[in-house]
Structure 1
Amino acid sequence: VPAWAATPLPPPTRLLLKRREGVAAEQALQSCREEFRQRMERLAQRRQQLGQREEQLRDVTLKFDAFLKASAARQERALQRAAEERAAGRDAKAARLHRELEGLLGRRERLAWRPPCVSLLSLPPLPGAAAPAASQPPAAAQFQDVPAMLAHFGALAGARAALAQQAGAGQERLAQGWARLRRYQEEAGSELLRTKGELAQLRAQLGATRQDVLQEESRWAHVQGTAAQKTLLLGQVRLAVLNLFQLATKWLEVPMDVALEDTEAQLDTVLLCIQDLAALCAHPPTREPRPRPPRLPEATTTRPMRPGGARVPLSQE
């Protein structure tokens, strides 16, 4: 193990490292805040788009329900009108046929009635009248309405054929209407299924977005907690730097011309003081001998001598 690995770092170096860590943490926190803000803006835009899409789908669903109800009402009215028309047509046709039948029965009764036949031969001849010829054909008045009756029956058959043709055309139109209605119902059902699928997909996306929002909120709470811890640590570091600065300036008698909020200048001052102390410890100054004053000879002194050879102080002379 190298010796420098076990040697602890000096306090200024540790303070600088803490300061760098604090700056890096502040930058990372700022970048996290910016990223989270952008992500929240995107999530808000996405949520707004999903809300608009959901409103559109709700409107489409309501319109489609109204369309289905209107189609069902129209179908019911058409069926009711067709039933009423068929019933009215049947009633009118039955009444007309009944009237025609009554007329035909009355005509048949009129045609079936014959007056009693009176032979002209059995009648006595009138005076002065000529005798009837034997070759004269009998009267055919009872057969004069048969062609008219046949023509009437032909007209009735034609009317019946026309009515049958009209009924067939009506049935065909009704079948076409039913086919169109079934096609409309199938299209409406497919559209409704597609709309329900889109609605389910949008709901799934909304759930995923809400889950992302919850995750981002938890992440933001974690970032805020980390930021609070880093802020507390930064405050402790600043307080430690201030205490160290005050101690260094007090013991080394350095002028305190640095503001209390300027942590960088305080740290630089402490670092300079530590460097000066380290330089003094590494290269201590050598003391030069001071020149002593020359000693005067004893003969040249003028102060009186005490008994025993001691001189009298200047204050007592």
Structure 2
Amino acid sequence: MEELQQRRKELELKEGQLKKSILKFDKFLKDNDAKRSRALRKAGEEKQQAAQRVAEAERLKEEIAHLLAVKDKLQWQLERHKAFPEYLQKVLEKTEQFQGIPELIAQFQALMATQATLAQRELFGQEAVEEERARLQRYTEESSNQILQQNNRVAELQAQLEQAQTRVLELESNWVCIQNTAADKTLELGRIKLAALNLFQMVAKHRKLPADVPMEDTAAQLDAVELCVVDLNDILANFRKGEPTPVPQPETTAASRSETDPQLTTSTA
């Protein structure tokens, strides 16, 4: 039993060592896999970085070529513009206004900016002038149309005025005729009133009536004359009733009676 116990302990110890060995081996495998993955990932990254470096190198080569081209162009421009600094130096030597070429260039740039501003203002001014010219053109056209319409309206009003003047002349002529007719009628009325007054006065004198009728009351005067005529007609009718029957006489014409008896004509009248 002691031996078995001893062997069990040994087996347990070996089992523990085996488990540890298995765990270590497993850890080793895992570490190995992790290292392998890291190595693969690092290799991929290094490959990608190498590709990026190659691309960057190509880009840098292209940029260097472009910069060399720009350098050559700038060198060419420098050689071409080499006379300008000499010219500016000569200008600077002839004038005492500037202390150096940079100050001269700054003044030139300020003048160029002022010129650009003035050119912009001139452009705006030209646009404003064009707008004003277009508005003036529109206003002129509208004014011409309004003047034409006013002229047409004036012509219409002139025609209406001429028609009105013609109508006024016609009305004035008619008014003159009416006034003349009214004057004639007034004169005739005055004569009629005077004749009625004379008749009334004769009747009043003949019948010895009071002349209390106003001179302007022609109707009352004619009424009095009418009453007198009616009375005379009644008297004449009564008188004719009391006369004997007249003896028949040879018929004579009114002309022969007028010629033979002028008094008869007078009494008839």
The structure whose RCO (Cα within 8 Å, separation 6+) is larger is: 1
TM-score calculated relative to the size of structure 1: 0.37
Give the number of the structure whose residues are more often helix, by fraction. 2
Could you state the TM-score of these two structures normalised by the residue count of structure 2?
Answer: 0.42
